[in-house]
Chain A
Amino acid sequence: MVTKAIASYRMKSLDETLSQLSKEDCQLIAGGTDLMVQRKSPRGAPGRFDKPVVFIDHLKELKQIYRVNQDIHIGACCTYSEMMEHHLIPNILKKAMKEIAAPAIRNRGTIGGNICNASPAGDTLPLLYIFNAKIRLRSAKGERAAEIRDFIQGPRKVDRLKDELVTEIILPEVPEVQPYFVFEKVANRRADAITKISFAGSMRWDEGRIQDARLAFGAVGPTIVRAADIEQKLVGQAFPLNDKVIDGIVAEFESLLKPIDDHRSTGVYRKTVALNLLRHFLEVRA
């Protein structure tokens, strides 16, 4: 009576998959590590899937990692384990991935899934925001790209049409020599833990002047928080930053960040720690 069979598809190619998506509204499953938890029923009952299911985790077209000029292309269905072993993936992203879940989940979970699940606690997201990642989408009709900050709209909300699939994540213009990077994940334990608050920062300086600065906070709002206008105030400042500049930047974020209380932590804690990590990052010497 309640259980009704649903169709499931595991197509041989990306094109066949896209063609299936153009025919009916389907539920995409990559690694399934978010979906299987979200759609779990109480013990003994089947998962709550109400649309035909399309598996994409095996599609070779979605598992490539390559470089075009300065841009790094990462297939949406690359798993964390795969990315952690690939020479083109920036070390700072590898560090973030190493702190995700535990080996079993890292063998299944994908970067496309992390983005499309669009949780503010998603651990690749702060860095992807800092890299100004572009999301490449394809449907049977064609292709487009979106900035990650536009693509992600809120918890579990992304700007994706029903017939579209995320094919790649592009990290544009990644220089050979990386800037100073920091990623900090704060959680209740060292594995299999959901982020209470995270921070990512990057800074480039030359001859005692800041050339570029980017700051991103996770799990302090409905989406990752990045503020271009505040970052802009750092550009051109003398490096190392003096206390007054640092205080000014911290104060700006103090009024911007409005994290909430939940069963994982408190708003006060999240905010204090976010600002602590920010200040620590800005205090870097050489």
Chain B
Amino acid sequence: MNAKDISISVKKKDHDGKVSGQLAYIGDVKVDLMLYGVLYRSPIAHGKVRSIQLPPLPEGYAKIGAEHIPGANFVKLLHKDQPIFADEWVTYIGEPMFMLVGPEFDILHQLLDEVEVDIEEHPAILTLEEAIRQKDHTGVFASHEFGERSDVIKAIEQHAHQIIEEEYVTGYQEHVYLEPQGMLGIYTDEEILVEGSMQCLYYVKNALISALACKDDEVRVIQSPTGGGFGGKEDFPSLMACHVGIAAKAVQKPVMLLFDRAEDFEVTTKRHPAKFIYRTALDEQGNILCMNVELYLDGGANAGLSPVVLQRSLLNSAGVYKIPHFHAKGYALKTNTVPNGAFRGFGAPQSFAAIESLLGHISGKVNRDPIEYKRNYIVKQGDPTITGGRFKDPVLIDDMIQDLLQTVEYAKKKAEFHAFNQHNKRYKKGIGASFFLHGCGFTGSGERDHIKATVKLARTENDQVLIKISNSDMGQGALTTLSKIVANELGLPYEDVSFPYPDTKEVPDSGPTVASRTTMIVGKLLERAASKMKAGWQSGVSQEAVEHYVHEEMIPWDEEKFSGDAYPAYSWGVNLIELEVDTLTGNVKVEKVYGSFDIGKAIDEQIVKGQIDGGMAQGIAYGFMEKMTSKSGRIEQKSISDYGPPTAMDVVHIESKLYDNPFAGGPYGAKGVGELPLTGGAPAVQAAIEDALQIDFYQIPVTPELIIERLTKRAGGSD
């Protein structure tokens, strides 16, 4: 690495404010005359609202409901099925029906307790299983089918040596971002201003324009410092923004809506629970002849982003493998439960957990080592994708695997663990790996057809450069990374480039902060804007440079047929985990974690390391710790300690390694990194538990309860 290498870390732009605790998050904000809002939420999962009886409201208190919405009563996103205030039908427990606003929280809570609502209860679909049973009649948000023709598959299956059928289930995951959701609406004569913790300023703005039925310049959205989003602040904030925007307009005062953790756990979006059904035909040597997968996502009560999440699940349903004669079909289904939404990985972590699990199990059935078996199927540069696109860039993953196996001395370690397990009655050690990728940027032609990103750079007369884009820093380091790209391109000191928290009045729509697109797509546009600015540089004169997204033509994406290149580039990862299972308690102690990644080029090594450590911790925990359940339509875990995300005590040092593989379409060769490191955690931890216990599991999280259940069964001889 030379001294000017962009990967060398710098002090993060937001370092001082965060480390000193001085940075004000939305929950810290107080403005004059500010009122608080509290939401009255549906107590039942499905029903028709008959009447609402309010207690007498003291002076200064008001009810805000559907009757106050100037525009249409839905949150603008994909479908029009999510009411801002559910005034006719309620479709899940916790759905907002109306809001009470006023100056004192304790009075608001007391008033909420005194509200009487009469709802005619209707049958509710409370589980994914029920939704699957009735999918042919109702409740499908989206579905796709693609791949090999069924008659071809049937013919192959008829001559196969054996057919392996497996089902696999994944659970909820909660984001547990640093600060719970919060949004402030401010009324002025000219505009409604909304401020809050968010990832996608223009999603929020467009939702507000629709709800308020107003002109573009009558709403304004500003991002507050955001201490973690993980997708949880992608779609959900639009709903809250509508609440505070409508309320602020109605009462002509600032209105703040803040959730505490328990409320946030109960009513905000989560990762989609999923079910997979695989049929795999094998020949006598155990080679795969064809594979068929059906997958189902529990979308919750409204469509939200589920149709797009489904696409990413399907696109990753064959993992990093070239499976002959692959066929897939998938559904995003409606249930009367809390809506599920965006979550780091966006449908891919479910699919990777499933396919990695399946191939692991097949390798066991044909007496092959799982890693060796999987490597036979790894895609190579030039190979087709499952949708008939092409892996056009160099694929390093097999070399990364080889490297890692050497580093950990895989064969030796396996033998050591085997010996240990023979002698130790209580503890069993295991080792497991996962191989995965992440398609960077929006799926398909989203960037070209929907997002159409624009970025702007502004230079003041004193040669200070401002980045004007709508992307959020949510702890992932966007302020720093993007400033570095611009400074580097302009040849300016990093300190001379600033990136204020975005305000839609100041910044064009550079797209949402999602899909691991910010560094690769927006960063590239900024790089181009900077070089344009540099070309026209005249010291002492203010200047602006604007760039628009330009689509690189690939194999055209056809969403109907589900064919073509789904992504412009892929990041790759290999995880390997060593752990120990306590067979008396089912507790798992992760002992060593390795992660190797090809993300093109790291713009800042320390930031990338942060993404890797955090993402892997989140992904590993998804595999065996974090357990969220819904009972009779209600989320059962109401606190962080009940849900159980990992603490510093649960995470060991993560040994990570980066492989340079620059991508021409990204700034300095960078591809996406945000989501990738989460993806491989769960399947690696599952594989290691299976290796330790010599038991196959068909679901995540692999909790101690599940482990003990299976050990008990095995001891009883029925497993």
Q: How large is the interface on A (under 10, 10 to 19, 20 to 34, 35 or more residues)?
A: 20 to 34
B106 and A193 contacting across the interface, CB-CB below 8 Å:
no
B641 and A45 contacting across the interface, CB-CB below 8 Å:
no
Within the assembled complex, what's the spacing in Å between the Cα atoms of A3 and B258? 20
The listed residue (A44, A189, A268, A273) touching B585 by CB distance below 8 A is A273
Interface string of A38-81 (1 = CB under 8 A from B): 00011111100000000000000000000000000000000000
A273 and B107 contacting across the interface, CB-CB below 8 Å:
no
B110 and A2 contacting across the interface, CB-CB below 8 Å:
yes
Q: With an 8 A cutoff between CB atoms, is A235 at the interface? A: no
Within the assembled complex, what's the spacing in Å between the Cα atoms of A41 and B587? 34
Within the assembled complex, what's the spacing in Å between the Cα atoms of A277 and B587? 13
Q: With an 8 A cutoff between CB atoms, is B709 at the interface? A: yes
Within the assembled complex, what's the spacing in Å between the Cα atoms of A42 and B106? 8
Q: With an 8 A cutoff between CB atoms, is A280 at the interface? A: yes
Q: With an 8 A cutoff between CB atoms, is B36 at the interface? A: yes
A45 and B649 contacting across the interface, CB-CB below 8 Å:
no
B712 and A189 contacting across the interface, CB-CB below 8 Å:
no
A277 and B585 contacting across the interface, CB-CB below 8 Å:
yes
Q: With an 8 A cutoff between CB atoms, is B644 at the interface? A: yes
B705 and A266 contacting across the interface, CB-CB below 8 Å:
yes
Within the assembled complex, what's the spacing in Å between the Cα atoms of A276 and B647? 27
A191 and B704 contacting across the interface, CB-CB below 8 Å:
no
A273 cross-chain contacts in B, Cβ below 8 A: 584-586, 704, 708
Q: With an 8 A cutoff between CB atoms, is A190 at the interface? A: yes
B258 and A272 contacting across the interface, CB-CB below 8 Å:
no
Within A252-272, the residues touching B (CB, 8 Å) are 263-266, 268-269, 272
A45 and B106 contacting across the interface, CB-CB below 8 Å:
yes
- What's the nearest-Cβ distance from chain B to residue A37, in Å? 9
A265 and B705 contacting across the interface, CB-CB below 8 Å:
yes
B649 and A41 contacting across the interface, CB-CB below 8 Å:
no
B452 cross-chain contacts in A, Cβ below 8 A: none
A186 closest partner in B (C-beta): B585
A189 and B647 contacting across the interface, CB-CB below 8 Å:
yes
A272 with B649, Cβ < 8 A, contacts A2-B107, A43-B260 known: no
Interface string of B689-701 (1 = CB under 8 A from A): 0000000000000
A264 and B584 contacting across the interface, CB-CB below 8 Å:
no
B594 cross-chain contacts in A, Cβ below 8 A: none
A186 with B641, Cβ < 8 A, contacts A41-B106, A44-B258, A280-B426 known: no
Nearest 5 CB-CB pairings of A with B: A44-B105, A43-B260, A190-B649, A188-B644, A45-B106
A sample of 29 cross-chain residue pairs with beta-carbon separation below 8 angstroms, ordered by A number, consists of A1-B107, A2-B106, A2-B107, A41-B105, A41-B109, A42-B260, A43-B105, A43-B260, A44-B36, A44-B258, A45-B106, A45-B109, A46-B106, A186-B704, A188-B704, A189-B645, A189-B647, A189-B650, A190-B647, A190-B650, A191-B647, A192-B640, A265-B705, A269-B704, A272-B712, A273-B584, A273-B585, A276-B708, A280-B426
Chain A residues packing against B (C-beta within 8 Å): 1-3, 41-46, 102, 184, 186, 188-194, 196, 263-266, 268-269, 272-273, 276-277, 280
Chain B residues packing against A (C-beta within 8 Å): 36, 38, 58, 104-107, 109-110, 258-260, 262-263, 426, 584-587, 625, 627, 629, 636-637, 640-642, 644-650, 704-705, 708-709, 712
| Extra inter-chain contacts (19) besides given A1-B110, A264-B642, CB under 8 Å | A44-B36, A45-B106, A184-B585, A186-B585, A188-B704, A189-B649, A189-B650, A190-B650, A193-B641, A194-B641, A263-B629, A263-B637, A265-B705, A268-B705, A268-B709, A269-B708, A273-B704, A280-B426, A280-B584
